Each structure stands twice: as C-alpha cells, then as structure tokens.
Amino acid sequence: MAAVVAVALSFPSMAPSPYELTVGIAIVNYAVLSTSWNFVGGFTGYISLGHGAFAGLGAYTTALLVTKADLPSFAALFVSAALVAVLAVPVGYAALRVRGASFVIVSIALVLIMLLVFQSWSSFTGGSRGLVVPRPFPGMLRSEHHEVFYFLFLALLAVALLTWWIIDRSRFGMGLKAIREDEDKAQSLGTPTYTYKLVVFVVSATFTALAGGLYGLWFGDLDPVFQFSILSGAYMVLMALLGGVRHLYGPLLGAVIVGYGLEYSKLEYGDTPLHLVFAGLLLGVVVMFMPDGVIPAATGLIARVFKTGETSIREVTAAELREERGQGGAEPAPGSPGQKREVKQ
Amino acid sequence: MPSASLVFQSIVLGVLLGGLYALLAAGLTLYFGVMRVVMIAHSAFLILAAYLAWYAHRETGIDPLLTLLVTVPLFFAAGVAMQRLLLTRLRPATLTMMSVLLTFSIALVIEGLLGYAFSGTQRRIRLGYSSASLEFFGARIAVVKLIAFGMAAAALLGLYLLMKHSRFGQALRATIQHREAAALLGIDTDRIAGYGFGLGLATAAVGGTALALDTTIYPSLHWHWIGPLMAIIVVGGLGSVPGAAIAAMALGMTQSLLQLELSTTWAQTVFYVALFATLAVRPQGFFGGRLAQRF
Amino acid sequence: MSAKENEQGQGQEEGKEHGLATVGLTKAFGGVTALDDATVSFRHGRVNALIGPNGSGKTTFFNCVTGMIRPDAGRTTYRGRDITAKPPHRIARAGIGRSFQLCRVFPRMTVLDNLLVAVRPPNLLAQLAGARKREETERARYWLTRMGIEHLERAEARNLSWGQQKLLELAGVLMSEPELILLDEPAGGVNPALIDRICDLVRELNAEGRTFLIVEHNMDLVMSLSDHIVVFDRGRPIAEGPPSVIQSDERVLGAYLGV
C-alpha cells in the first residue's frame, strides 16, 4: 500500500514528459469518478449509467461561475459541487422511488436531457462552440500547471476513498449494503432505505461533480458532446465493475487498467469507433464472467497458487457446515409431510 | 400563432411518429414483460436495421422494404439467441441491473461496429418516392412517412393478433403475468421468454426499416431514440403494452405540436419532463399494474 | 400465559390490550381481491395464529400490516396507534418484526452482519459510527447463541443450510427488538427436529413477553403452539377462537375443503 502511495506521489517527477503526466492526470480523474460512482453502485447495487451528467454539470457550473459570476476558480468549484448536490435531491427523489429498472432509465435520461439543454441553450453555455474556462493559475508554466492538478486530483481521490472507507465500516454503510442484498428485508428490519439511498446518491453526485469541476479547471475547454456523454458514465461503471465494486480500491484499480488502455489506444490508433467496441466487449465480459471484479478473482487465484497453512474463512465455514450437517442439526432438504407425521407419533 | 392547417399537419405528423414509437415501445415492453430486462440495445438494433436497409439499397438498389424479409427473421433469431445464450446466464438476484449493463454493452458494440464499417457520416436513402407527398385537408404529408406508419401499424396489429388469438400468444401472456404459475401449467417459460425476446427484436427490425425511409441516420443516433422510448414505457407503466401505445401516441403528438413553437431539440425534452413527472407523481406509471410497482 | 383468557367474541373496544388491529382492510390485485374488508384484532401477549387455505389472503395481510404493500382501503392500528400505510421501517420501529414466507437473509453478508443491520442508531451522528460496536456485537452473539448458530458468525449467510438460514432470519428479527413478531410459515421446508426447536423458541420468547402472529400450514404446530387462532377465507376472517374451538368449527372445515 505504502509503495503504491509512494509511486503515486513521485509520479510527476518521474514522468518523462508532460504527455505522460496528462495521462496520469486522466487516470487519477477516472479513479475519482469511478470511486464516486461506487458510492451508489457498490454500496446499494443500483447501477447508474448517467453519472457523466453530474461530472458534466460540475464542470459547466464551475466554468459558468468563473466566467459569468467572476468567482475565484476554487470557490466556484465548491459552489458548483454544492449546487449539483442540491440538484441531485430531486433527481434522486424521482429515480429512487421505484426499484431498479426505473433508476437506470432515469440515470440515462439525465445525461440525454443535459446534453439537449446544454447544446440548445448555446447563448448561455456556448453550445457546441465550446466554453473556455479561464485558468486558475494564469502565470504558471504548462508543466507546472499539470503537476499542480495532478496533486489536486490525487487529493480529491484520497478524500473520496476516505469517505467511502468511513461509510463502508459504519452503520450507515451496513444499511446500504443490506439494501444491495435485499431491500424489502432491510426495510422490515427498520432501515429507512429510501432516505439511505437518497443520501448516498447525493454524496456520490457531489464527489462526481467535484471531479468534473476540477477537470474543467484543468482542461479549460468544455463541449457538451464530451461532457454529457453517455460513454463517460459507462466508463465509470466499467472501471468500478472491473476492479470490484465491493472493494475500496476496486474502482481505482479498474481506472488504472481501463484508463491506461484508453489513453494508450488513443495515442496509438487515434479516436476510432473501435473504442466503443472494446469498451462494450470488456463490459460484457465483466458482467457475464466476473461481476465481482478482478480483486476477488485475483485473490482467489493467489490463494490457490500460494497454498499457505492459513485457510480462508469460507473454507473453515464449509468444514463447520459439513460437521453441522453430520450431526443432523439442520437439513437443507425440505421436510416432507411424511416425516412430520413420524415425529408426531 | 401557427395557422390551423399547420396545427393539423402537426397532429397528423404526431400520429405518424407516435405509431413508430408505439411499435418500438411495444418491443421494449415485451422484453421487460418476459425477462424484467430493460433492453438498452433496442434502439441500437433499430439503427442497425436502418443501416442494413440503407446498405442493401445502396449496393443493389432494391427497395429498402424488401430488406424486411431478411432482417425480421434475422433479428428474431438474434433476440432468441441473446436471451438463451446471454441473459439466462446472469444471476437472477442481480438480473435487472446486470442485464441493463449487458444490453448497454451490446449497444456500444453495435454503435462502434457501425461507425467502423460505415464511418460516422450521415446517411440517407434516396428513393423515387422520397419527395412525394399527399395533400390531406390542407396538410402536406410525405408518402414515406405514411408508409412508415403503415408498417408500424401493420406490425403492431400483427403483434396484437398474435398475442390475443394464438396459442403462443396465450403462453406468452401467461409467462409475462406470472412466470411460475405459467411453468406450473406446463408452459416451457424459458422457450417462450426467448421467443418473446425475439419478437421484441423483430419490432426493431420493422421500426428500423421504417426509420430508414425518411430519416438521416448515423451510428450514435440510437441514443436519441432510447431516451424517449424508455420515457414512454415508464409513463405507460413498465410491462403494459396498451399503456406504452397510449403514452407513445400522446407524447409523439405533444412532441410534434411543440415543434411548431420550439426547436426540435427543445421539443424532445417533453419525454424527459413526462418521465420525471410520472416518477414523482405516479411511479408505477399511468397504466401499469402490480408488475410496475416493484420496479 | 401472560394474557387472560376471557373470550368476548370480536372484542369491540379498541383498548390497549389489543396489540395489532385492522378495520376493513381491503386490497385487490387487478381483478383479484386478496383482502376483502378484513376486520380483525390480535391481543397483546399471546401466540396468535392466522390460518386459511392457499390464497385466502394471509400473506397479503402480513404485507399490508407491515407496510410492504399499501391497502386500497381500511386501517391498521398497533397498540392504539394508526400505522396504516406507514413505510415498513417505521412499522418495524414501532415494534413489529417479521419473517418472510420463503426465508430471506442477506446472502452475501456474514451471519453477524445479518444481525447488525437491525441495530438502530440512536441519532444521526451515530450513523457514521462503526457498525461493529462491542455491545451490539455481544447482543448479536447472544441471539445467535440462543438460536444455536453462534459458531457460524463469520460465515456468509448464503453458505448456511436452509434450516440455519431460518434460525438466522429469526435472530435478525429479534435483534430489531420487536414486541410483536409476525412469522410467515416458520415451519415451511424445515425438518421435524428443527420444527420442535422453533416451537420451543416461540414459547420461550412468548414467556419473555413477546407477542406472536404466525401464519402456518402445519396444523399440528398451530394447534399445539397458539393461544388464539383466526381463520381467513377469501380475504376475510370467518372464525376465531382458541384451538379447541377452531378444530371443531364447521366453517373452517368447509373453507379448507372448498365447500
């Protein structure tokens, strides 16, 4: 763990060129986005395909607050995140009232509607001509600028991971995970599932907006087609799922793998439609064959390769179970009526 | 204030558009009914069918309508295969969410392959009757739009008759309403669900060909269709075919009328406004029954 | 038995001794009326049973009472408080716990966590406190021990046998500290030894002051366990009384035989 942190921190000084540094920034940005997505997706199991909308809103609101309201860049970033959080409440209200399918539909609709609005309302948003965001540090050299933003993204990632970890071990997190497992059951045990879902949805949207806003400040040029792309939301899902949604570092791992692959193929092959094909195929493979991600798959493999004396909890349990069944404590087979009568006599 | 004949023309166009929406929404409803699956790739298959019609016309000059003879059975088979080979292998506990992702990934693959094969250029079929139009009580209606509507209406009618009057339709409806009960009655629900999926995809084949007649197509066009279609099935109540049809007509007409005053893109927001309003006021949709409440 | 047995038929006054009571509860699914103007009350402190043929509305009654589905008409009160159409978690917090027809646990959580879900944080800040506080863990272990599955606390619930899952579900319900426990077919698919075990548990827990309402098809169990039985047919109560009365009631026989 410490090694990973050390590498992450020293990456800017090791990066051979500003280009590598921008790839690093893009990957850390992906990591923040997919970790933010995982607040909803990982804890509650609700898959949002529209988190790109929150990132785009974060970017655009930050940019508009800087350009139209003359707010200082980083004040604008936090105000924008707060505004997105406020907006996430009615969205979540509509999306979370019914289970599952409607949530996905709303999440996709959100991206499409934002794309429509930001393209059509070009007098305010710049439309497809784009919106230029003034740099927060005007006097800075390009490479210094990248370096500063690399660390800003890294800091945001640390805060997002810390928040996820706190929720993960909390009672709140326990309730959220119960929702993922069986929402009716959680409710019948007294968990206010609707409120829980709404709160975590807003938290997730806020972090996503922060990542989007920071991206806007760094990149400096926004276009609705890229900001409100269904694809950016899809990448978040793919990264989180590939790494493993039940794990703190799952989305981060997925972001490193997918993000690196994306940036590399962009450099090698340019922007071809085959990106979509590969993203689609990878997502399909993950969904079909390893919905829990590579972390459980890899740990399982490592456990098999290095057969140490220490067995996993699962195995102990299985042994205990056999023992238990041997004693005839509780049979899994449903009792037949015949058996019942026997006991009665 | 637009003139009366313009309003009338908009209403007629709205009905024609609503017919296509209704057919496609019926397909989405079928998938949801048999598998509880929100099929994101529905509109990607729609665009695929449109491209196949365009390509066949460009290469051989045949009428795009003839491609139906190939695409409908092909899509039906693809639907059955998709259900049998992919969707049934997902864990039942997470089926709704994971199937969304799976169909989403299929949509990405189709979009990417279309872009790779035919580039992102906008394509349009030019036919002898492309520019022909009919005067209809002062409204000018393009012939191709009438043909498209006719195809949608015929397909919907066929679907209706199949569902209501055939033995297969009976089994399909039983499977949709209560899968376990249907299985107890000796219905092979897996097979029926597969055919239901195939039928749904066949509607995309018909819709896509109809779409190709009078629309400019490009690979990412499917996103402009899936949003409205999903709004329609939520407003109509997930799983309700009549609900989807009514919502399709109502929203198609509203969109068409709004275009008189607003730009095309703003008029499209009506679907999303309706979607959010429905979920806020009546989350089970306006015609949905028990099924819709849990989803 | 904690409750005094002076039968007075329907029990008109809605006093505090009536734990759970419904007036005119009605619910239809499409054209099928699952609950039809059901007025019934269950006294506090007893082991009550709800029986009736399949499709007589027992589970729908459970679902309406616990807020899982919203009744079309009618009212539900618990100890004099109106709980009609309140969200399920409110009803749980009012002191009504329930099990599900086909036993439901959180499959990919550990046995211990299955119980800790039911802990109610005292305030908002406590939501963010660690979920595995010692006193709560101890309380969870207490219930696991009483169920006899304490050795499985670190196992994932999905790896438990059916019977163990039934016990786990009951432990989870108890962890939420209910006064009234609704059990939907506690003996369904369970072997005879475990049925006896569950019966003993219900008796013990009742003696400790918990009220039960049990839906069950196993008549031997119902007759031996319950103090008071309500019979449902076609969505409404048709008879009620102690087991001895119900056993000889012709209407009950008629309902079961479909006369």
What is the mean pLDDT of the segment spanning B191-204?
92
Kindly state the percentage of chain C with pLDDT values over 70.
92
Neighbours of A108 (CB within 10 A): 25
What DSSP element (H or E) covers A134? none
What is the per-residue pLDDT for A311? 44
pLDDT bucket at B188, cuts 50 / 70 / 90: confident
Paired tokens of C110: 């550990």
All chains having 3 or more CB pairs closer than 8 angstroms to chain B: A, C
Phi-psi region of C156 (alpha: psi -120 to 50; beta: other; left: phi over 0): beta
Report the mean per-residue pLDDT for chain A: 86
Q: Is the model's pLDDT at C151 over the cut of 60?
A: yes
Whether the predicted interface score ipTM is above 0.90: no
> B210-243 pLDDT, tens per residue?
999 888 999 989 998 999 999 999 888 877 788 8
> A133-155 pLDDT, tens per residue?
888 888 888 888 999 999 999 99
Q: CB-based contact (8 Å) between A14 and chain B?
A: no
Q: Is the model's pLDDT at B292 over the cut of 80?
A: no
Q: Is the model's pLDDT at A318 over the cut of 70?
A: no
Residues of chain C neighbouring A198 (CB-CB closer than 8 A): none
Kindly state the percentage of chain C with pLDDT values over 90.
57
Going by C-beta distance under 8 Å and a sequence separation of 6 or more, which residues neighbour residue C217? Answer: C51, C185, C187, C188
Going by C-beta distance under 8 Å and a sequence separation of 6 or more, which residues neighbour residue B165? Answer: none
What is the per-residue pLDDT for A337? 37
DSSP-derived pairing of the beta strands C73-78 and C236-241: unpaired
C89 closest CB neighbour out of A182, A192, A313: A192
Q: Do A171 and C193 touch (CB under 8 A)?
A: no
What is the per-residue pLDDT for B175? 84
Asked if residues C35 and C61 have their Cβ atoms less than 8 Å apart, the reply is: yes
Amino acid identity at C231: V
Cα–Cα distance, A39 to A35 (Å, whole number): 7
Which CATH fold topology does C18-106+177-257 show?
A: Rossmann fold (3.40.50)
What is the per-residue pLDDT for A334? 39
What is the per-residue pLDDT for B190? 86
Which position has the higher pLDDT, A53 or B164?
A53
Phi, psi of B226 (to 5 degrees): -65, -35
C131 closest CB neighbour out of A173, A194, A339: A173
B108 closest CB neighbour out of A90, A234, A288: A234
What is the per-residue pLDDT for A57? 96
What is the per-residue pLDDT for C132? 85
Q: Do B93 and C30 touch (CB under 8 A)?
A: no
Residues of chain A neighbouring C131 (CB-CB closer than 8 A): 169-171, 173-174
Residues of chain C neighbouring B290 (CB-CB closer than 8 A): 29-30
Neighbours of C258 (CB within 10 A): 7
Cα–Cα distance, C17 to C52 (Å, whole number): 25
Cα–Cα distance, C73 to C37 (Å, whole number): 8
All chains having 3 or more CB pairs closer than 8 angstroms to chain C: A, B
> A323-336 pLDDT, tens per residue?
444 444 344 333 33
Torsion from C-alpha of A36, A39, A41, A45, nearest 10 degrees: 180
User: What are the domain boundaries of chain B?
Assistant: 14-219
User: What are the domain boundaries of chain C?
Assistant: 18-106+177-257
Asked if residues B152 and B17 have their Cβ atoms less than 8 Å apart, the reply is: no
Phi, psi of C50 (to 5 degrees): -125, 115
What is the per-residue pLDDT for B62? 87
Paired tokens of B163: 């569902």
DSSP-derived pairing of the beta strands C73-78 and C18-29: antiparallel
Burial call C95-127: b when 16+ CB within 10 Å, e when fewer? bbbbbbeebbbbebbbbbbbbbbbbbbeeeeeb
> C10-69 pLDDT, tens per residue?
444 444 467 899 999 999 876 788 899 999 999 989 999 999 888 888 989 999 999 988
Going by C-beta distance under 8 Å and a sequence separation of 6 or more, which residues neighbour residue C34? Answer: C27, C28, C55, C57, C60, C235
Nearest to A32 by CA among A171, A232, A275, A290: A232
Q: Among A214-223, C15-24, C127-136, whose mean pLDDT is lowest? A: C15-24
Q: Is the model's pLDDT at A313 over the cut of 80?
A: no
Which position has the higher pLDDT, C214 or B176?
C214
Instruction: List, as ranges, residues 127-146 from C with C-beta within 8 Å of A.
Output: 127-132
What is the per-residue pLDDT for C105? 93
Going by C-beta distance under 8 Å and a sequence separation of 6 or more, which residues neighbour residue B242? Answer: B236, B287
CA-derived radius of gyration, chain B: 19
Residues of chain C neighbouring A313 (CB-CB closer than 8 A): 154-155
What is the per-residue pLDDT for B290? 46
What is the mean pLDDT of the segment spanning A256-277?
86
Which position has the higher pLDDT, A275 or B136?
A275
Phi, psi of A287 (to 5 degrees): -60, -40
> A89-132 pLDDT, tens per residue?
999 988 888 777 788 888 999 999 999 899 888 888 888 888 99
Which position has the higher pLDDT, B104 or B139?
B104
Going by C-beta distance under 8 Å and a sequence separation of 6 or more, which residues neighbour residue C21? Answer: C14, C40, C41, C42, C76, C77, C78
Q: Is the model's pLDDT at A247 over the cut of 80?
A: yes
Nearest to A181 by CA among B93, C166, C132, C168: B93
Q: Among B20-29, B138-147, C208-217, C238-247, whose mean pLDDT is lowest? A: B138-147
pLDDT bucket at C9, cuts 50 / 70 / 90: very low
Q: State the DSSP code for B123.
A: B
What is the per-residue pLDDT for A66? 95
pLDDT bucket at A316, cuts 50 / 70 / 90: very low
What is the per-residue pLDDT for C10? 41
pLDDT bucket at A307, cuts 50 / 70 / 90: low
Residues of chain B neighbouring C107 (CB-CB closer than 8 A): 93
Q: CB-based contact (8 Å) between C254 and chain B?
A: no
Q: How many CA atoms lie within 13 A of B150 on its CB side?
A: 8
Q: Is the model's pLDDT at A159 over the cut of 60?
A: yes
Phi, psi of B224 (to 5 degrees): -75, -15
Q: Is the model's pLDDT at A297 over the cut of 90?
A: no
Phi, psi of A54 (to 5 degrees): -70, -40
Q: Do B97 and A47 touch (CB under 8 A)?
A: yes
What is the per-residue pLDDT for C31? 72
Q: Is the model's pLDDT at C91 over the cut of 60?
A: yes
Q: Is the pTM of this model over 0.95?
A: no
